[in-house]
Amino acid sequence: MKTLKIAIQKSGRLNEKSVEILKNCGLSFENYKSSLISTVTNFPLEILFLRDDDIPEYVQDGIADLGIVGENVIVETGANVSYLQKLGFGKCSLKIAVKNDSDIDTVAKLDGKVIATSYPVILEKYLKANQVNAQIRNISGSVEIGPGLGLSDAIFDIVSTGGTLKNNGLKPFTSVMNSEAVLVSTPGLEFNTEVVEIVQRIQSVLRARTTKYVVLNVAKENLKAVVDLLPGVKSPTVVPLFEEDWVAVHSVIDEQDFWVKINSLKAAGAQGIVVMPIEKIIT
């Protein structure tokens, strides 16, 4: 069996969550800050710790078989990789921002202006699509100080909370792309048995993260009303209680409308509701 290689960020915003998701998949490996490569002891897999900018091309060229990286970096490098799974972390948007007092409030008004960015490829595509002729100034970091220094009229950068923009007297006026961390593979490797196994494990961890295990007690006369509120994975488990007219119901519920569901369960007669985290859901 060929040992696969997965590239993840060595340090930075995606490192911790990338390590966490792999560990939650039951993969055992040492995570020394100093090492650039780590061997998984219970799966034919090696982990390469790299700068995120290098990951798309390593995966494209097959130096790594898999990678975890922000979609924005993949688009920026233009690498040809296969998207296997969105991972739900590292979420951010790439936005164009201007000084608070700027009169630039439409893309068209960027015509003839200077825009500072570390993402020239994504920006250029966007400007072209909008038929705007602006000068792109490629800066490797701290682009948000550009307008204040008179270096640029606008910036194009990653925004998650917007705090950095605010602190620099900037306001975003248009969002160009949304991004999150994704699992990618070398094209053609999507159907490799071990790759499929890793994707399935990751999906079961992701499913479990958005659901909770719920146990509650209900009088038999209210059972139907409570069960109707619980979709469960298939149908809920109903267990008899010592008190004859009562049963315990076990089910899985989605975190999304969690409190709405809990309140309607209570209203339908549910009591002693216990909510537990789920580690994995294998379907």
Q: By the criterion CB under 6 A, which residues form the site for ligand ATP?
A: 9, 12-14, 51-53, 70, 72-73, 90, 92, 158, 160, 179
Residue 265 interacting entry, from Mg ion, ligand ATP, none, C-beta within 5 to 8 Å by type: none
When the beta carbons of 55 and 265 are compared against ligand ATP, the nearer one is: 55
Q: At its nearest, how many Å lie between Mg ion and the CB of residue 53?
A: 4
Among 16, 20, 30, 53, binds Mg ion (CB under 5 A): 53
When the beta carbons of 60 and 251 are compared against ligand ATP, the nearer one is: 60
**Residue 160 CB contacts under 8 Å (≥ 6 apart), including other chains:** 91, 92, 93
Q: Which residues of 9-42 are buried (b: 16+ CB within 10 A; e: fewer)?
A: bbeebbbebbbebbebbebebeeeeeeeebebee
> Is the Cβ–Cβ distance between 38 and 32 less than 8 Å?
yes
Residue 14 interacting entry, from ligand ATP, Mg ion, none, C-beta within 5 to 8 Å by type: ligand ATP
When the beta carbons of 139 and 214 are compared against ligand ATP, the nearer one is: 139
Phi, psi (rounded to 5 degrees) for 281: -125, 115
Q: How many residues bind Mg ion (CB under 5 A)?
A: 2
Q: At its nearest, how many Å lie between ligand ATP and the CB of residue 141?
A: 8
Q: At its nearest, how many Å lie between Mg ion and the CB of residue 84?
A: 21
When the beta carbons of 7 and 199 are compared against ligand ATP, the nearer one is: 7
What the block records as the tokens of 272 is 């002693």
> Is the Cβ–Cβ distance between 202 and 85 less than 8 Å?
yes
- Kindly report the number of other CB atoms within 10 A of residue 147's CB atom: 23
When the beta carbons of 15 and 200 are compared against Mg ion, the nearer one is: 15
Among 49, 52, 97, 216, binds Mg ion (CB under 5 A): 52
Q: Scan for tokens 């990951």, then name that residue.
A: 55
- Kindly report the number of other CB atoms within 10 A of residue 278's CB atom: 15
When the beta carbons of 69 and 98 are compared against ligand ATP, the nearer one is: 69
Number of H helices, E strands in the chain: 9, 15
Residue 271 interacting entry, from ligand ATP, Mg ion, none, C-beta within 5 to 8 Å by type: none
Please give the residue ranges that form the binding site for Mg ion (CB under 5 A).
Answer: 52-53
